[in-house]
Amino acid sequence: MRRGTPQIGAMQAISAEEREQFYRDGYLRFGRVLSDEQVARLRSALERTIREELERDDFSDLPPEFAFGHRRKGSSNQAPRAIHQFVNMWKVVPEFQELLHNQAIVCAVGALMDGAPVRLWHDQVISKPPGDNAKFAFHHDYYFWPLDRPLMISCWLALDDATPENGCMHVIPGSHRDPRYQPAGCDLTDDLHLSPAPLGPGAAASLYDEARTWDADRAKPVPLKAGECMFHHCLNYHMTPRNVTDRQRRAHVMIFMPDGTRYNQAQAPNHPCTSTLGLSDGDVLEDPNFPLCG
């Protein structure tokens, strides 16, 4: 990649070619946004957080959504899982909160959102450790979220080298604007970062269920070095295969939404990031749980 190893706070521009690729394909391999030292600091903070979760008896000072997706002391779930998560690391771990102000990331997302102020919907660490992981099947993220418009952009930041063998991201280019991959009635109008116009011969929703069963060989892998990131649109079909190596594959995901995004309860009424907030349908997500970034 043409980028170097910027420190947090360094600004990087999105080129016209990168913007066009993101709109066309629904993803963008952006490159290096953290130095080796910054990556090491985040890994250390994650390892510290895991130790603390396994040792502590009182979780009352942690946000409720932080419990989602990982084992805690006393957990009975010991089966291999497709995903290990720590949701809203930014609320708990100062080293991860700093990433909300990484100008290389935030400025790129803002440019892809036509200059709109951006808020964090939520962040998460996603891990595929050797020997305790599985394939996470094809999906698009938007339908898991109680949000009113599919305008979200995720930044997938590698904390370890991510390869096809240890479970890097795999995407279906263009699926975010292809009605065959979306549920019936999905709005693919041109104000949703979907340019050029929707594509794909065949009936709307015709691949929506079938694609969920596909293996990684039906998609394009996006390998990343530790400290590099990619962006993907919330309607892009993507998956991660099983980690078949003896190496870690840890990533930090920040999901951004344009300022003014509203709560859509019907779409995901029990989402862990909103279920305890007392929101009403149509409320603008603008309180401190969804901070402005930059």
**Residues 154-206: tens digit of each pLDDT:** 999 999 999 999 999 999 999 999 999 999 888 887 777 776 667 778 898 99
Q: Please tell me the predicted confidence (pLDDT) of residue 76.
A: 61
2 confidence band (pLDDT: 50, 70, 90): very low
Separation between Cα atoms, residue 179 and residue 259, nearest integer Å: 26
Q: What is the mean pLDDT of residues 245-255?
A: 96
**Residues 268-292: tens digit of each pLDDT:** 999 999 999 999 999 999 999 999 9
In a domain, 288, yes or no: no
Q: How many CB atoms lie within 10 A of CB 234?
A: 25
In a domain, 273, yes or no: no
In a domain, 284, yes or no: no
Domain hosting 137: range is 22-55+62-70+81-267
Whether 282 contacts 263, CB under 8 Å: yes
Of all residues in the chain, the percent with pLDDT exceeding 90 is 74
7 confidence band (pLDDT: 50, 70, 90): very low
More confident residue, 261 or 68: 261
Q: Please tell me the predicted confidence (pLDDT) of residue 188.
A: 81
In a domain, 294, yes or no: no
Instruction: Give 283's DSSP letter.
Output: -
Q: Please tell me the predicted confidence (pLDDT) of residue 133.
A: 80
In a domain, 126, yes or no: yes
Q: Which of 294, 227, 230, 245 is nearest to 43 (CA)?
A: 227
Q: Please tell me the predicted confidence (pLDDT) of residue 96.
A: 98
**Residues 33-78: tens digit of each pLDDT:** 999 999 999 999 999 998 888 888 898 999 999 988 887 766 665 5
Residue 233 has pLDDT above 50, yes or no: yes
Could you tell me if residue 36 is left (phi over 0), alpha (psi between -120 and 50 degrees) or otherwise beta? alpha
In a domain, 4, yes or no: no
Q: pTM for the full model?
A: 0.92
Residue 211 has pLDDT above 50, yes or no: yes
In a domain, 87, yes or no: yes
Count of domains in the chain?
A: 1
Q: What is the CATH number of the domain that holds 191?
A: 2.60.120.620
Q: Give the residue carrying structure tokens 């892998």.
A: 221
Q: If you count them, how many residues does the chain have?
A: 294
In a domain, 112, yes or no: yes
Roughly what angle, to the nearest 10 degrees, separates helices 103-112 and 16-25?
A: 60
